[in-house]
């Protein structure tokens, strides 16, 4: 049986994506995903609305779609670094099972210090597309069990090689995520392995990151 993947970073029409959660579920299921998290962009203005909407979508999926899981999450985006501990904690209180922080991607003006503040916060699960992340931040990610993302998305993927090599050096865990917004953005297992291998990882390292590391995050979610 073909191995299926997990993708913990994508967007619906609750932020800047094009699709309803139900369509995202169907499309990713057909492409070979077994678990996804929809993590719409949020700040204090829409945090509660996004999370509650995705919780409803998750409940609907669990009732009507067999063999598939939709996790309600959020991507805290362009927020001041000093607000990250507060907003990540609030997101968890509201029911977000995965908290992603929009990292210091090389193609957007994310405030300097976002990567380090995110990796220092135990309520953060994933630092998305962290660009030229520092060794200090990567070490903090390791200490706090925060996953660093290798991104499938154009532009954001430019830092993947640096992220992969620094994560290996520091012992931080990696994930491959799509950061999907539109039709055609979602990952297949083959594409996910390609992202990892294009980041300079070996075949064995890529298989572990794509097929095994997601279960480490799922276990962490389950035990909260």
Dump pLDDT digits (tens) for 126-157.
999 999 999 999 999 999 999 999 999 999 99
**Which sign, positive or negative, has the C-alpha torsion 90, 96, 98, 99?**
negative
SS3 150: strand
SS3 180: strand
Question: What confidence category does residue 223 fall into, taking pLDDT thresholds of 50, 70 and 90?
Answer: low
- Give the Cα separation of 69 and 104 in Å (integer): 29
Q: What is the pLDDT of residue 222?
A: 74
Q: What is the pLDDT of residue 7?
A: 98
Check pLDDT > 60 for residue 224: no
Tens of pLDDT along 86-132? 999 999 999 999 999 999 999 999 999 999 999 999 999 999 999 99
Six-digit token pair at 98?
A: 């995965």
Q: What is the pLDDT of residue 33?
A: 98
Contacts of 23 (CB under 8 A, 6+ apart): none
Six-digit token pair at 175?
A: 């994930």
Which CA distances in Å does 90 have to 24, 43, 119?
Answer: 26, 11, 17
Tens of pLDDT along 202-212? 999 999 999 99
Residue 56 CA, distance from chain mean position: 20
Task: Indicate the burial class of 1 (C-beta count within 10 angstroms; 0-12, 13-18, 19 or more).
Answer: exposed
CATH architecture observed for domain 5-99+151-162+174-222 = Alpha-Beta Barrel (3.20)
């Amino acid at each position: 049986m073909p191995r299926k993947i997990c993708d913990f970073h994508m967007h619906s029409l609750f932020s800047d994506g094009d699709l309803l959660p139900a369509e995202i579920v169907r499309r990713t299921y057909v492409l070979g995903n077994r678990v996804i998290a929809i993590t719409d962009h949020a700040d204090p203005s829409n945090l509660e609305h996004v999370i509650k909407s995705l919780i409803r979508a998750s409940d609907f999926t669990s009732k009507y779609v067999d063999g598939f899981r939709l996790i309600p999450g959020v991507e805290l985006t362009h927020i001041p670094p000093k607000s990250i501990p507060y907003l990540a904690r609030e997101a968890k209180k509201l029911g977000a099972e995965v908290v992603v922080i929009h990292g210091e991607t090389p193609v957007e003006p994310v405030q300097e210090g976002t990567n380090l503040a995110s990796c220092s916060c135990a309520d953060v699960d994933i630092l998305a597309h962290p660009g030229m992340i520092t060794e200090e931040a990567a070490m903090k990610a390791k200490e706090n069990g925060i996953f660093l993302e290798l991104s499938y998305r154009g532009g954001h993927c430019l830092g993947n090689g640096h992220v992969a090599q620094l994560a290996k050096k520091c012992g931080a865990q990696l994930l491959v995520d799509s950061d999907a917004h539109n039709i055609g953005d979602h990952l297949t297992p083959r594409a996910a392995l390609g992202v990892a291998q294009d980041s300079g990882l070996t075949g064995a390292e890529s298989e572990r990151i794509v097929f095994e590391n997601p279960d480490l995050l799922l276990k962490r979610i389950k035990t909260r």
